[in-house]
Amino acid sequence: MRASGILLHISSLPSPYGIGTFGKEAYQFVDFLERAGQKFWQILPIGPTSYGDSPYQSFSTFAGNPYFIDLDLLKEDGLLEPGDYENLDWGDQANLVDYEKIYQNRFVVLRKAYEKGFPLERRKVEAFRKLHNDWIEDYALFMALKSRFEDKAWTSWEESIRRRKPEALAHWRQELKDQVDFWVYLQYLFYQQWEALKEYANQRKVKMIGDLPIYVAMDSADVWANPQLFQLDKDLRPTFVAGVPPDYFAPEGQLWGNPLYRWELHKQTGYDWWIRRMKAATTIYDTVRIDHFRGFAGYYAVPFGDENAVNGKWVKGPGMELFQAMERALGKRSIIAEDLGVLTEDVHKLLKDSGFPGMKVLQFAFEPNWDNGYLPHNHVENCVVYTGTHDNDTLTGWWETALDDHERQHALDYLHITPDEGIHWGMLRGAWSSVAWLTVAPIQDFLQLGKEARMNTPSTLGGNWRFRLLKGQLTEELADRIERLSGLYQRSAR
């Protein structure tokens, strides 16, 4: 089966309330995908975001982001009145998310929905709790404690609860019972709305591609509840943290700061935590893209406290043993491996042995190397081709600033791009015509948007993850043009 899809995060959907949600615009985007003949909608991680607003730094790998709960749907369910949320300040730029305004106002509104809905839906919520009891109680208590301790990281909490002493856990569960119930209820609402949207998409033959970061955030319920699974010292501080080594683009490397896994202990448990994590991800998505796949072959460990990633070292990862354990427990699941970055022989072998499709990014294809592996003539069927990812500039920005004259001419010649077609549709044609079974492009590239629409610039703080579509940008004419392109290369669902 040949197929194609569009990359658009939930936060980037239009909405009158500051950020994209699981509401009307999400359903309309599914309708757009159906008309455009697309079989896949790819999104970024949907966990609750923490400091910096990155979906790759979440308070929980299992929980969903309450920002995506649609307020109009809550009104339809009788949980909110229009006056509860319609006149609040959600930001003054329709094309950008104002996370500070969202943070200030969203939970006040959701609290009103909780106070009205929780007593009425207590039985359903309890059933939901039991279904997700392997993570939800720790997550809800974690969030309640963060509120109690002025949003400080768990490593700054009182010693007894920081170390999860049984008497401290029992005390705070009782002390913060209302807050814990509130955070559980938000997850109940989140999953209710997500599952309805996914069902709507699947009924229209649109599958959801989700994103699973390899690492979790240090300030997360995951690390607080399972410190033994991570490389922490006796004071619960990391010994080494994640990053990538220096290269041409980042002379000091990239210091991500996530705690690293204690893989030998994961192995002793039969990789139970990872199996539960993958089961959850492959349940809520149809296909899962595993971020930073190369880290399973070998990961880069930087001493905690270093200001950059220069002094890191490569350490052997769990390799195929992890994925074999997953397959024994879960059967075969639909997975895409993000195999970008420094690719050594062990990474190539792991990708081949796993059987997962890797990624080819066309923006990387026209550097001065005539046998570049990202050029379409070097693609294989078992891969996924992207014009660019959420970490790349838009095609406009890339074309204007990232290439020299020789590289631009190489791209024009290779793809036979004419002035009438233009670089955007020429690059899209190059991706769609590939032998790869699946090709995906960010919506920004179909809309020919500039640098202002870039989703993320790695190794920078502030200004990222804010891009939003404007209402009316997704026209029937655009859908029809995408469908014609997809039909031409036998990728259309129509």
How do residues 421-430 score in pLDDT, each as one tens digit?
999 999 999 9
Confidence of residue 462 (pLDDT cuts 50, 70, 90): confident
Q: How confident is the model at residue 106, as a pLDDT? A: 97
Q: Which residue has the higher pLDDT, 253 or 162?
A: 162
**Longest CA pairwise span in the chain (Å):** 71
pTM for the whole structure: 0.97
Least confident of 13-27, 185-199, 246-260, 305-319: 246-260
49 by DSSP, 3-state: which? strand
SS3 label, residue 257:
strand
What's the average model confidence in pLDDT over 106-112?
Answer: 98
Residue 440 to residue 408: CA distance in whole angstroms: 22
Q: How confident is the model at residue 314 (pLDDT cuts 50, 70, 90)?
A: very high
Residue 175 belongs to some domain of the structure: yes
- What's the CATH number where 140 sits? 3.20.20.80
The reported pLDDT for the residue numbered 430 is 98
The SS3 of residue 288 is strand
Find the catalytic residue in 272, 306, 391, 400: 391
User: Is 493 part of any domain?
Assistant: no
**Using CA atoms in the order 132, 136, 138, 142, what is the torsion angle rounded to 10 degrees?**
170
Length of the chain: 494
Question: pLDDT-derived band of residue 103, with 50, 70 and 90 as boundaries?
Answer: very high
Which of the four pLDDT bands, split at 50, 70 and 90, describes residue 158? very high
- pLDDT of 371: 80
Better-predicted residue by pLDDT, 494 or 469:
469
Residue 494 domain flag: no
**Strand order across the 254-259 sheet:** 254-259, 240-244, 298-303, 313-316
- The closest alpha carbon to 208, from 197, 224, 222, belongs to 197
Whether residue 280 lies inside any domain: the answer is yes
Domain that holds residue 464: 3-488
Over the stretch 42-72, which tens digit does the pLDDT of each residue have? 999 999 998 889 999 999 999 999 999 999 9
Q: How far is CA 380 from CA 2, 432, 490, in A?
A: 13, 13, 16
- Cβ 292 vs Cβ 336: under 8 Å: no
User: Does 391 participate in catalysis according to the annotation?
Assistant: yes
Per annotation, catalytic residue among 338, 339, 445, 483: 338
Domain count, the chain: 1
Which one has a higher pLDDT value, 271 or 461? 271
**313 SS3 class:** strand
With respect to residue 134, please indicate whether it lies within any of the assigned structural domains.
Answer: yes
Within-domain flag for 381: yes
Q: How far is CA 384 from CA 361, 387, 493, in A?
A: 9, 10, 17
First to last CA, the chain: 13
Query: What pLDDT is attached to residue 250?
Result: 80
Catalytic residue among 84, 291, 339, 483: 291
Contacts of 22 (CB under 8 A, 6+ apart): 10, 68, 69, 70, 73, 193, 194, 196, 197
Q: With 80 as the cut, is the pLDDT of residue 101 above it?
A: yes
Please state, in angstroms and rounded to a whole number, the distance separating the CA atoms of residues 126 and 132: 10
- In this prediction, residues 143-154 reach a mean pLDDT of 97
The strand pair at 254-259 and 313-316 is best described as unpaired
Question: Quick one: pLDDT band at residue 102, thresholds 50, 70, 90?
Answer: very high
Please provide the average confidence, as pLDDT, over all residues in the chain: 96
Is the pLDDT reported for residue 459 higher than 90? no
Measured distance CA(149)–CA(35) in Å, rounded: 49
Residue 151 known to be catalytic: no
- pLDDT the model gives residue 342: 77
What the block records as the tokens of 340 is: 């970008």
Q: What is the mean pLDDT of residues 231-249?
A: 92
Are residues 357 and 384 in contact, defined by beta-carbon separation less than 8 angstroms?
yes
Q: How far is CA 298 from the centre of its chain?
A: 22
What is the rounded CA–CA span in Å between residue 317 and residue 324? 14
Residue 165, in any domain of the structure: yes
- Asked whether residue 400 is domain-assigned, the answer is yes
Instruction: Supply the pLDDT for residue 381.
Output: 98
In the structure, what pLDDT confidence band is assigned to residue 458 with cuts at 50, 70 and 90?
confident
Q: Mark whether 150 is an active-site residue.
A: no
Band of pLDDT at residue 460, cut at 50, 70 and 90: confident
Residues paired with residue 291 on neighbouring β-strands, in sequence order: none
Beta carbons of 342 and 294 less than 8 angstroms apart: yes
Q: In angstroms, rounded to a whole number, what is the distance separating the alpha carbons of residues 443 and 467?
A: 11
Q: What is the pLDDT of residues 349-397, one digit of tens each?
A: 999 999 999 999 999 999 877 689 999 999 999 999 999 999 999 999 9
Which sign, positive or negative, has the C-alpha torsion 342, 47, 204, 466? negative
Query: Can you tell me the mean pLDDT for 213-230?
Result: 98
Could you give the 3-state DSSP secondary structure of residue 286?
coil
Q: Which two tokens stand for residue 23?
A: 């509401």
Residue 17 token pair = 């309330």
